[in-house]
């Protein structure tokens, strides 16, 4: 199936680790012009080399922190030479904190909201005027099954991802008249096999203490975090298994699909 993504400018945020990295390389394989956004310069350079080797028409890495409200404008300036952005994948996100909500520090709430929701709003707002002018565009937001059912001890993260789902549906109604589709992919837990797939800043990177902090929680609480097994023999997805849904939603074949939240969860929500 020809997805007609060749030479289209595709912007992927959080592109240097795990799901984002796999998505970026998936578009590269389709011959897109990849704009990879991240904070780790070394991981970004490695990603660009691999993207070009896989068939990307062009590939650039833009070092930016989307927690900075000024970052989206600088990103668009940096990738202007490649052409107008045809596809935006809002992938950046993650867990800032974990624990029972009653024990959380209100000062940490904003971190989850900024990383998972406000980055999506900022980057989307930056690309929309150009898409509206061209009367075409694809926006794919990476949500989470946590936003559908709520993950135990991840209350604010779950709320932020639910907001991403809701925002996607409303925006789909607003911009459909301009030929723009907006959809979500909601993965379950997804972990790459290769440790090199985790750049600095990723919660899976050895420098991160996210899981160390989680390990200090009471055993009964950690047990409640785990969902019952899904329909498949394993409950953890591989990043490459998220890519197909994203590529489809970015393609011409999905031109009549908008406002949807597509679960990639191994049947864990059945």
> In this predicted structure, what is the pLDDT of residue 73?
97
Asked whether residue 1 is assigned to any structural domain, the reply reads no
Rounded Cα distance between 97 and 61, Å, is: 28
> In this predicted structure, what is the pLDDT of residue 20?
96
pLDDT in tens, 11-49: 999 999 999 999 999 999 999 999 999 999 999 999 999
Asked whether residue 182 is assigned to any structural domain, the reply reads yes
Asked whether residue 269 is assigned to any structural domain, the reply reads no
Asked whether residue 3 is assigned to any structural domain, the reply reads no
Instruction: State how many domains the chain has.
Output: 1
Parts of the chain with a pLDDT under 70: 192-229
Asked whether residue 149 is assigned to any structural domain, the reply reads yes
Pairing state between β 85-90 and 137-142: parallel
Asked whether residue 91 is assigned to any structural domain, the reply reads yes
Asked whether residue 270 is assigned to any structural domain, the reply reads no
> For position 156, which CATH number holds?
3.40.50.720
The encoded tokens of residue 48 equal 């660009």
Asked whether residue 193 is assigned to any structural domain, the reply reads yes
Instruction: Kindly list the catalytic residues.
Output: 157
Detail the DSSP E strand segments found in 76-207.
85-90, 137-142, 180-187
Residue range of the domain that includes 230: 9-264
């Amino acid at each position: 199936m020809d997805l007609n993504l060749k030479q289209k400018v595709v912007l992927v945020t959080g592109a240097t680790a795990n799901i984002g990295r796999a998505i970026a390389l998936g578009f590269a394989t389709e011959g897109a012009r990849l704009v990879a956004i991240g904070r780790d310069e070394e991981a970004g350079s490695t990603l660009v080399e691999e993207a070009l080797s896989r068939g990307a028409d062009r590939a650039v890495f833009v070092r930016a922190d989307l927690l900075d409200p000024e970052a989206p404008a600088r990103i668009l300036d940096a990738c202007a030479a490649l052409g107008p952005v045809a596809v935006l994948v809002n992938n950046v996100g993650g867990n800032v904190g974990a624990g029972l909500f009653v024990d959380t520090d209100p000062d940490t709430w904003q971190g989850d909201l900024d990383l998972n929701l406000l980055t999506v709003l900022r980057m989307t707002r930056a690309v929309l005027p150009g898409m509206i002018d061209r009367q075409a565009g694809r926006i794919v937001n990476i949500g989470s099954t946590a936003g559908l059912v709520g993950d135990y001890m991840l209350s604010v993260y779950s709320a932020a991802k639910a907001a991403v789902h809701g925002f996607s549906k409303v925006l789909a109604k607003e911009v459909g008249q301009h030929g723009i589709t907006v959809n979500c992919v909601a993965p379950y837990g997804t972990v790459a096999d290769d440790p090199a797939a985790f750049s600095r800043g990723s919660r899976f990177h050895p420098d991160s203490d996210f899981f160390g902090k989680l390990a200090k929680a009471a055993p009964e609480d950690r047990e409640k975090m785990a969902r019952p097994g899904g329909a498949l023999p394993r409950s953890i997805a591989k990043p490459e298994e998220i890519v197909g849904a994203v590529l489809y939603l970015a393609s011409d074949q999905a031109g009549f699909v908008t406002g949807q939240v597509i679960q990639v969860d191994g049947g864990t929500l059945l």
